[in-house]
């Protein structure tokens, strides 16, 4: 299949691209950075999701992953950028699945104000897309990861004290890897045929953790 992924130069987007490539798909990647994937079936476009978007016809899957946090542009990049990409590439009869990488903070409201607003907006927009692509038999869903061990979080991952505090917050004392999120992305867009308009929380039980006081 022909798959578009945004934010492919590192982290979750690169892991998602590699998962699709290793399964025999063609991946078109958009990133403001140079491409970092060396594979004959990978086509890189060095571009901003808010800039000029290249012409790519007949995509089967569109995965909105590019994102920033506390950048002063969170709503522009994470929300408006994803809307631009989806409206251009996903609203067409060949589409099979659309995916948004949201965030657990869309549910909790914790983290940076514009970031949580951008991700909450994405979850609502994902449902709007599900209503519009259903006539072509396509699904639209989002993943809401809690912590994922990528460069986005180096600040706390390299601080021993903060890392211990974070581990005390999760039910399973760990964060997800980018490769695990890529497996979820593959399952939800390729294997899944019946779930649509849903947001999946993948947070190691951080949201569920509660103490029974008796």
Ligand X SMILES: NC(=O)c1ccc[n+]([C@@H]2O[C@H](COP(=O)([O-])OP(=O)(O)OC[C@H]3O[C@@H](n4cnc5c(N)ncnc54)[C@H](O)[C@@H]3O)[C@@H](O)[C@H]2O)c1
Binding positions for ligand X, rule: CB under 6 A = 6-7, 9-13, 30-33, 48-50, 65-69, 77-78, 81, 101, 103, 145, 147-148, 150-153
- Residue 60 or 206 having the CB closest to ligand X: 206
Scored b (16 or more CB within 10 A) or e, 136-147 reads: eebbbbbbbbbb
Q: 152 exposed, middle or buried (CB, 10 Å; 0-12, 13-18, 19+)?
A: middle
Residue 142 β-bridge partners: 100, 199
| Residue 69: CB minimum distance to ligand X, A | 6
- Residue 9 or 204 having the CB closest to ligand X: 9
CA distance 21 to 37: 10
Q: Nearest-CA neighbor of 197 among 95, 79, 99? A: 99
How far is residue 109 from each of residues 84, 112, 118, 123, measured CA to CA in Å?
24, 8, 11, 13
| Residue 105: CB minimum distance to ligand X, A | 7
| Residue 135: CB minimum distance to ligand X, A | 28
| Residue 6: CB minimum distance to ligand X, A | 6
Instruction: Kindly state the DSSP code that residue 54 receives in the 8-state scheme.
Output: P
- Residue 51 or 137 having the CB closest to ligand X: 51
- Residue 21 or 50 having the CB closest to ligand X: 50
């Amino acid at each position: 299949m022909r798959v578009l992924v945004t934010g492919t130069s590192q982290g979750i987007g690169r892991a998602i691209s590699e998962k699709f490539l290793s399964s025999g798909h063609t991946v078109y990647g958009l990133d403001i950075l140079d491409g970092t994937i060396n594979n004959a079936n990978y086509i890189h476009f060095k571009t901003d999701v808010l800039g000029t978007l290249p012409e790519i016809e007949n995509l089967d899957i569109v995965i909105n992953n590019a994102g920033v946090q506390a950048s002063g542009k969170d709503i522009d990049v994470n929300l408006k950028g994803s809307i631009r990409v989806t409206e251009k590439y996903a609203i067409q009869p060949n589409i099979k699945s659309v995916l948004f990488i949201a965030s657990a903070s869309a549910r909790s409201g914790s983290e940076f104000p514009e970031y949580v607003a951008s991700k909450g907006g994405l979850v609502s927009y994902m449902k709007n897309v599900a209503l519009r692509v259903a006539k072509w038999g396509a699904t639209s869903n989002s993943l809401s990861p809690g912590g994922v061990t990528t460069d986005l979080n180096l600040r706390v991952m390299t601080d021993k004290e903060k890392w211990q505090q974070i581990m005390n917050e999760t039910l399973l004392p760990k964060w997800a890897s980018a490769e695990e999120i890529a497996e979820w992305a593959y399952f939800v867009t390729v294997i899944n045929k019946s779930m649509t308009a849903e947001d999946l929380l993948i947070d190691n039980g951080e949201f569920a953790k509660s103490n029974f006081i008796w």
